[in-house]
Amino acid sequence: MQSEKGRYSQPRWGVTRWLADAGPGVPDDIRSALIGDLYGSLPVFAAGAVNTVAVAAVIAIREPTTPFIAWVILELVICLSRLAVLLAAHRAAREGRPTPTDPHLVLAVAWSASVGFGILISLASGDWVVAMLASLSAAAMVGGICFRNFSAPRLAGTMILLSLGPIVPGAALAGEPLLFIVFLQVPMYLAAMSVAAFRLNKMLIATMRAERENGHLAHHDTLTGLRNRAGFVAALNTKLAAPAGNGRPFALLFLDLDSFKPINDTYGHAAGDQVLMLAAERLRRALPETAVIARLGGDEFVVLANGVTAEQALGIGQRIIQAVTIPYRLADGIFAKVGVSVGVAVSPEHGTEAEELLAVADAALYEAKSDGKAQCRLASVATNVAALRRLTKMDPTPALDRGAA
């Protein structure tokens, strides 16, 4: 998972790591998305900054004493620093560079401490208009702190404590007995808002996990764990769209298991499924990590091999044949043997569009099947012509069941 504006760096300092920690067992991609949420947007930041700076300025005009003037200056320095860091972070994320997450978190805590400082000196001043303005402003900020930062509940709890907690010592300094009720109210309010932040965080992570799993299921085969057709076409289109990928050749290898249907007929579909899972695992071991492997359905697989020539792709095809054709040991001591035929298309020689390359590789596979079992064939001119004819006829299923071959 990744923010639409880019990827944001995890904090590196000990205290900021603790503040932003999402809890145990949270996947790295979700952690990155949670960090991105902490940056928020410029309009949301501007609303909070304008509010606190304006309140501090109005109070300083009414009470032009050193503490209040210092508060206005502190608010301005912190808010301008936060704005600079926020802009730099968004730009760095878009460009794929590390983002200043540690300063961002520290400044967020400093801002909440500044709000708390304003409450403290306002209550201690004895001016109830000033005290009311500062307290209302802080109370309004607490809701925003909780709902903006529940991606990191420890950070939200710390900011709530620093911004609203000083009401308690401020009430003591004010010396007004009626205000002593805040000794009971504020701790309960702080606890309730902190608990809300943690609960919202759990709900958010659960939702993100569900989205992550749904996204995985939409692009992966449930039996083998490989990509499905949608996932493979998406990866292939990404490869074709990448500027660096257009200049480097890559190969598409279309695979079809030979004599697979008799296994289903003789031993049942459970045995057939086991063969498919074992074949997928052998493909993973035989191919480099950079290769994209997919099961298109039935006993058909396809491989995207990056940065290879036609000769190297044929070598990969032979390696696949050697790995897949080793007999499979199934349940009850049964041994099953299948072959595999491979058709190879190379981009840009054989095409620059996803469906075109798949059709050419499929046509090359048809030639390999026609020549006998366990063959690997590179697409030829005749293959290209046959594939193009098939595409022009708008055949939606160029890869038919060849399992009985």
With 60 as the cut, is the pLDDT of residue 400 above it? Answer: no
pLDDT of residue 81: 97
pLDDT of residue 401: 44
What mean pLDDT is predicted for residues 52-81?
A: 97
Rounded to whole angstroms, the Cα distance separating 200 from 202 reads: 5
**% of the chain surpassing 90 pLDDT:** 71
pLDDT of residue 4: 45
Confidence of residue 22 (pLDDT cuts 50, 70, 90): confident
What mean pLDDT is predicted for residues 133-160?
A: 90
pLDDT of residue 331: 83
pTM: 0.70
With 90 as the cut, is the pLDDT of residue 212 above it? Answer: no
Give the DSSP H/E element, type plus range, for residue 295.
strand 292-297
Rounded to whole angstroms, the Cα distance separating 387 from 379 reads: 10
With 90 as the cut, is the pLDDT of residue 67 above it? Answer: yes
Is residue 174 within 8 Å of 131, Cβ to Cβ?
A: yes
Give the DSSP H/E element, type plus range, for residue 44.
helix 42-62
- 290: buried, middle or exposed (CB in 10 Å: 19+, 13-18, 0-12)? exposed
Tokens found for residue 339? 């072959």
pLDDT of residue 24: 86
Residue whose C-alpha is closest to residue 106's, from 13, 5, 40:
13
SS3 track for 354-371: HHHHHHHHHHHHHHHHHC
With 90 as the cut, is the pLDDT of residue 397 above it? Answer: no
Q: Which fold has domain 229-392?
A: Alpha-Beta Plaits (3.30.70)
Is residue 343 within 8 Å of 302, Cβ to Cβ?
A: no
Task: For 5, list phi and psi in degrees, rounded to 5.
Answer: -90, -5
Domain boundaries, the chain: 14-218, 229-392
Tokens found for residue 401? 């069941």
With 70 as the cut, is the pLDDT of residue 201 above it? Answer: yes
With 70 as the cut, is the pLDDT of residue 255 above it? Answer: yes
Rounded to whole angstroms, the Cα distance separating 362 from 328 reads: 26
Give the DSSP H/E element, type plus range, for residue 328.
strand 328-329
pLDDT of residue 244: 54
- 95-109 pLDDT, tens digit per residue, is 989 999 999 999 999
Confidence of residue 310 (pLDDT cuts 50, 70, 90): very high
Query: Judging by DSSP bridges, how do beta strands 292-297 and 250-258 pair with one another?
Result: unpaired
pLDDT of residue 403: 42
Residue whose C-alpha is closest to residue 301's, from 340, 243, 353, 346:
340
pLDDT of residue 381: 67
Query: Which of 8-17, 227-236, 240-249, 338-347 is the least confident region?
Result: 240-249
- 358-379 pLDDT, tens digit per residue, is 999 999 999 999 888 889 999 9
pLDDT of residue 390: 62
pLDDT, the chain, mean: 89
SS3 track for 216-285: HHHHECCCCCCECHHHHHHHHHHHHHCHHHHHCCEEEEEEEEECCHHHHHHHCHHHHHHHHHHHHHHHHH
What mean pLDDT is predicted for residues 196-205?
A: 92
pLDDT of residue 1: 45
Residue whose C-alpha is closest to residue 276's, from 255, 302, 303, 299:
299
- 312-342 pLDDT, tens digit per residue, is 999 999 999 999 999 999 988 889 999 999 9
Confidence of residue 75 (pLDDT cuts 50, 70, 90): very high
